[in-house]
């Protein structure tokens, strides 16, 4: 078995007295939280960078006023990059924590999509959250009782929780968008990215509907952690850049 599968199995053994048949599901949630705790220094560094970029807003506004004409777009982009270089602030340094999580998600997906791991039978596939197997997908649940069947209700609960996190994140980003746009280089492509990124959290609903339930639990846990972590790191009232709220 992979290292990840072994760790999940060991955590499930520790949690079994409390969670019984759902111990593996609880272990996935706990494992995800442990990963996020380990990543917290990276997140704090990213937030420091975001706050530093926000402090450049007056200079960026001045540059947009100076090079506001369409024909000056290249000069504006060059000036913005030079300003960030002089301040030693990377324009998009906040993406690293999100990128680091991708390998964990892909490993999770692979383990709960494979019947065998390292030549051994994958026993994790037989574990459940309520009535739904962790290796099962929503479309499988629809064939086992429909939307409101025993398995379908588990997925509906997952979708509702993800939607709640996505809505809270989106509303928070939209509320602060007017200030946070000033911290992003004012190129047309970047402005479009700033508007789109907050909506990506809703994309986790689509992903959760097609990946195994175990991967959906990971998505729910990591997005909820991100929302709570960023709210805490920005508790001083500093505006969080919109582009960083989707991670």
Count CB neighbours of 236 within 10 A. Answer: 6
pLDDT at 134: 92
As averages over each run of 10 residues, the pLDDT of the chain (247 residues) reads 80 93 94 91 80 72 73 74 69 64 79 74 84 92 92 96 92 66 48 60 87 92 92 72 45
Show contacts of 208-212: CB within 8 Å, 24+ apart. 208/138, 208/155, 208/158, 208/159, 208/162, 209/137, 209/138, 209/139, 209/155, 209/159, 210/137, 210/138, 210/139, 211/109, 211/137, 212/109, 212/112, 212/113, 212/134, 212/135, 212/136, 212/137
Alpha-carbon distance values, 129 to 5, 133, 172 (Å): 17, 6, 31
pLDDT at 245: 43
pLDDT at 195: 60
Give dist(CA 8, CA 29) in Å, integer. Answer: 10
| Contact assessment for residue 124 and residue 8, using Cβ atoms and an 8 Å cutoff | yes
pLDDT at 48: 77
pLDDT at 93: 56
What six digits make up the tokens of 191? 């402005």
pLDDT at 183: 46
Main-chain phi, psi angles of 230, to 5 degrees: -70, -35
Strand 116-117 versus strand 120-121 pairing type: antiparallel
Residue reference for tokens 């990377």: 90
In the three-class reduction of DSSP (H, G, I as helix; E, B as strand; rest coil), residue 132 is classed as strand
What six digits make up the tokens of 85? 């270089």
* Closest C-alpha to 35, from 242, 218, 246: 218
pLDDT at 27: 94
Q: Read off the DSSP letter of residue 198.
A: G
Show the DSSP H helices in 56-149 as ranges.
Answer: 57-66, 73-87, 96-111, 138-142
């Amino acid at each position: 078995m992979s290292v990840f599968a072994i760790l999940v199995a060991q955590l499930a053994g520790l949690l079994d007295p409390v969670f019984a048949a759902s111990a593996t599901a609880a272990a996935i949630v706990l494992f995800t939280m442990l990963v996020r705790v380990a990543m917290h220094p990276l997140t704090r560094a990213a937030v420091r960078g975001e706050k530093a970029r926000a402090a450049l807003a007056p200079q960026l506004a001045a540059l947009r006023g100076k090079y506001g004409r369409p024909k000056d777009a290249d000069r504006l982009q060059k000036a913005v990059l030079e300003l960030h270089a002089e301040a030693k602030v990377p324009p998009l340094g906040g993406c690293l924590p999100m990128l680091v999580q991708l390998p964990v998600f892909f490993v999770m997906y692979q383990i709960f999509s494979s019947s065998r791991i390292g030549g051994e039978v994958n026993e994790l596939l037989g574990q459940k959250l309520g009535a739904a197997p962790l290796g099962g997908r929503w479309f499988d649940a629809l064939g086992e009782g429909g939307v409101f069947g025993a398995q379908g209700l588990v997925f509906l609960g997952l979708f509702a929780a993800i939607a709640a996190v996505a809505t809270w994140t989106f509303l928070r980003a939209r509320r602060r968008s007017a200030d946070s746009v000033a911290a992003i280089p004012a190129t047309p492509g970047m402005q479009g990215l700033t508007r789109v990124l907050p909506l990506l959290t809703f994309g986790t609903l689509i992903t959760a509907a097609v990946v195994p339930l175990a991967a959906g639990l990971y998505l729910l846990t990591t997005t909820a952690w991100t929302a709570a972590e960023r709210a805490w790191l920005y508790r001083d009232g500093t505006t969080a850049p919109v582009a960083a709220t989707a991670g």
